[in-house]
Chains A and B, each alone.
Chain A
Amino acid sequence: MTDYAEKRTAITGIGQSRISRGADKSALALTIDAALDAIGDAGLTRADIDGMATWPGDRADGSGFSDVGIPALQDALRLELGWYSNASETSGQFGAIFNAIGAISAGLCRHVLIFRTMYEATARKTSFANALNRPGQRVFGPFQWYAPYHVYAAALQQALMFAAYTHKSGMTDEQRAWIAINQRENAALNPNAIFRERITVEDFLAAPIIATPLRLFDCDVPIDGSTAIILSHVDPAKDAPHPLTRIEAVGSAMRYRNSWTQLEALDTQAQPKVAEMMWNRTDLAVKDIDVAELYDGFSFHTINWLENLGVCERYGAKDFIAGGTRIALDGEFPINTNGGALSAGRMHAYGQVHEAMTQLRGLGGERQVPGNPGVAVVTTAGGPLAGAFLLVRE
């Protein structure tokens, strides 16, 4: 196997602020909490951090979607950097990680602080969050094609794709419910999760419809919180306090029309060619995965990933997740072990990274996957956005 650049990088530190439905401090303060936590976890000090990356950068719109960017955090921590980059037009949230791999490989830096901060719980109390347009303002750019049609949230754009999936796969609401149910089971064992009460198929079906086929429990929960990781070159990573956990392979491809309306495969979203790229960069295969943290902004993203990674056949997810046994903590393919974004909160794919690392270190507590997991897959998704990578603990 080619010695691809990502194989010479490792996640050496992880950190997280308190995750809540309303923080008692600012978005920047939460980000500092997460950053210092991650730096310390990697056995480093601020002086060791010489790179920074994030997605999508400071939106400066008060929506809470991304209120903290690199300049604010770099200045707050007084970091001295050889390289930094906010990447927003990239393979979803993981574009920040993929760019950092390139920067480390190019010798621009050794230890990159990567972060994602959400402040939507507070933003929603005062104005709006993640709304796609504002009253009275003309809409520029690609979103103009949706603007006049009462599309007020990403849930509606995504519902169009999920409806196509439902139509082609024949998956019913009852069958789909097992994603949400399983993740509540996991959240019940995670003291930091937002929603910890177990739910049933009946509860799932009794919850309101948002936009067909989406129901309330298909949707993740907006939070205030920040997650940070340290991505390092493997050489210094070998001296870090925790066992070396390398990035084994990445999928960053965009080989479709990069458009929310014209994307060719509405039912699979942009995932298949991302998965194909990732598998082409490793000798590992699906059978080697011990734990999977699959993006769940909506339950359908996770369902799509099960099929697109090759865990089950195309349109076979309805059988694979039936009863929740295969995807449970002690099942053959445990997923979203901390409750995912549906139950632990919308940390926007970085919750997935944090949890994968927690599991690979064996620090999952009551929710720890048995059998000393050593290989994790982590994904993100959303229409034309998709990214994936494999983590291997040595």
Chain B
Amino acid sequence: MIDSRKPPSRPLPATTCDTEPFWSGGEHGELLIEQCDGCSYFIHPPTGFCPECESRDTHFQPVSGKGFIETFTVNHKRWVPGLPERYVLALVRIAEQADVRLATNIVNCDPGDVTFDMPVKVLFEENDGLWIPLFEPVGSAA
């Protein structure tokens, strides 16, 4: 499992003005998802355009940080040196809207305990000025 307190080096995204809020909201403990001002639809990845009502007026909204595991895989292969023996890659759908899915690692639990639709909550890991959203099981002691 990945110990979120001693993170291995993570490749990082190159941010744009569209994506920078998502990757930096964790500094204030906030998971920021773009939201339409007009109809409140969450737009992810952020585009500045609401596909529901065609509004161009959007903002980044702090969401609850709660979600559910849509799907996951337990990695066993050592793709690069230093990887943990097993770790969980998942797609998490946020509690507010099922068609917003975030790729993430599930941390602070045994990979063998992860299940489909498991409730999870966000935590953040700072890497070189970016705040990477990770998720852990709801009720995790971390």
Contact = CB atoms under 8 A, between A and B. Distances in A.
A144 B14 contact: yes
A376 B126 CA distance: 53
A147 B11 contact: yes
Interface in A191-240: 208-214
A254 interface: no
A261 B101 CA distance: 6
A150 B74 CA distance: 12
Interface string B1-20: 01000001111111100010
B10 A160 contact: no
A156 interface: yes
B14 A138 contact: yes
Contact of B12 (A139, A159, A212): A139
B76 A210 contact: yes
Interface in B53-92: 70-77, 79-80, 83, 87, 89-91
Contacts of B116: 167
A270 B85 CA distance: 32
B118 interface: no
Interface string A155-167: 1100111111001
A108 B90 CA distance: 46
B99 A262 contact: yes
A139 B12 CA distance: 6
Nearest to B14: A138
Given A149-B105, A150-B83, A211-B76, A144 B13 contact: yes
A163 B73 contact: yes
A144 B19 contact: yes
B95 interface: no
A371 interface: no
A60 to B, nearest CB: 19
A86 interface: no
A209 B13 CA distance: 28
Nearest to B9: A135
Interface in A140-181: 140, 142, 144-153, 155-156, 159-164, 167
A164 B89 CA distance: 13
Contact of A147 (B12, B44, B83): B12
Given A156-B73, A210-B75, 5 more contacts: A144-B14, A146-B103, A148-B13, A211-B73, A211-B76
7 contacts: A148-B132, A150-B79, A152-B79, A159-B73, A161-B71, A210-B77, A211-B76
Interface of B: 2, 8-15, 19, 44-45, 70-77, 79-80, 83, 87, 89-91, 99, 101-105, 116, 127, 130, 132
Please give me the 4 A-B residue pairs with the lowest Cβ-Cβ distance, nearest first. Answer: A144-B13, A152-B79, A138-B14, A159-B73
Interface of A: 131, 133, 135, 137-140, 142, 144-153, 155-156, 159-164, 167, 208-214, 259, 261-262, 264, 266
